[in-house]
Structures are given as C-alpha cells and as structure tokens.
Amino acid sequence: MRVSVEKIKENEVVLDIEESAESFPALEDLIQREECRFAGPVAGRVRAFFANSIIEVEGRVETRVLLPCSRCLKELEMPLVADLTATFVGDLPQIEGGEDDEVELTAEDMGMIPIEGDEIDLREIVQEQLVMELPLRPLCSSRCKGICPHCGANLNAGDCGCRPPVFNNKFAALKDFKAEK
C-alpha cells in the first residue's frame, strides 16, 4: 500500500484495496489478543492527489468485524466503515510574522503527516481509522440484560434463579436522623 510521491505529483492515483485484516499490524494485534475477529477482508477505494505542494488522501474502507457483546459476551457481527482523510507534506511552508509571534510548529502539530523518502504508506492511515471506528462497548441489543454476576447465566435467555444480594447499608440507621438547626 505504498505509493510513489512522484506518481501522485504527475497524476491522481486511485487505489482499490482488498487485503486481509491480518496484513495490518494493528488489526493483527487485536486478533492475537482475541479482542475481535474479522469476517472478511478490508476493502475500499483510496484517492491520492497533489494540491499546493501537499498530498491529499481521501477514501473509504470497510470490513466486517466479530466482537463480543460487552454485557452478555455473545459474539456479534457488525460492519466497520472508515472514511479516510490525510494530508502529507514534504516541507512546511514558511510563515511570515514578527519575532514576538514566533512559534515553530511541526507537521504533526498541524495534523499533517511528514513525507519520509519518496513513497507514502497508506497502511498506517487505514488501520488507524479502522481501529478508531471500533465501538468501545458493542451491544448485541440495546435491551441486552447481560450475565448474572453470581452464576454467569445469560439473562437474555431467562431468569437464572439467583436471588439478588442483600444490600447492607451501614448508614440505614441514619435515615430518620433530623439535625436540629
């Protein structure tokens, strides 16, 4: 997923992507830690073009991911779609200003990615955006009841029969206490 900077400067480059999730290091790490699985390849289209001494990259990639429900641990399959936008820059433009206003910003400070060498690697951008699209707490349903904290039964299948714990509130004796003014 490397593209020559010279090729982009000459003409717009459009890449059709279709690679396994395992070919992206960050996604492979998620698979190895058993946080999720991928049900299909990462596929999409990315466009890179040269504009005003910078390289703009935009596109969309998608895949299907298998995640455990954060309440009941049932595996659910969901689409994962990421829109990509990135700006690559070789050298930052010089900004005219007074000496008192002098602040040096790096490309990263301005949200740009510095070009290193004569190629840009889109693999980092694709995997970063896909990881950011993963839900923090995936749910199989908004009405998911989760699992019983005592016996581990899935409460969506029915009541497990465990009695709720007796709540021992040490401050219950103070409930009728009235402070005099």
Number of independent structural domains in the chain: 1
On whether residue 128 sits in a domain, the answer given is yes
Average pLDDT, the chain: 86
On whether residue 55 sits in a domain, the answer given is yes
On whether residue 164 sits in a domain, the answer given is no
pLDDT of residue 96: 57
Torsion from C-alpha of 26, 27, 33, 38, nearest 10 degrees: 180
| Residue 131 to residue 128: CA distance in whole angstroms | 5
On whether residue 35 sits in a domain, the answer given is yes
On whether residue 181 sits in a domain, the answer given is no
pLDDT of residue 72: 93
On whether residue 11 sits in a domain, the answer given is yes
Q: For tokens 């689409």, what's the residue?
A: 79
On whether residue 30 sits in a domain, the answer given is yes
Q: Which residues contact 77 (CB under 8 A, 6 or more apart)?
A: 39, 64, 65, 66
Percent of the chain with pLDDT over 70: 87
pLDDT of residue 102: 65
pLDDT digits (tens, 9 = 90+) for 81-124: 999 999 888 765 555 555 566 666 665 556 677 778 788 888 98
3-state helix, strand, coil in the chain (%, to 5): 15, 35, 50
Q: What is the average pLDDT across 152-162?
A: 89
Q: What is the average pLDDT across 62-66?
A: 96
On whether residue 118 sits in a domain, the answer given is yes
SS (H, E, C) 97-154: CCCCCCCCCCCCCCCCEECCCCEEECHHHHHHHHHHHCCCCCCCCCCCCCECCCCCCE
Host domain of residue 107: 2-133
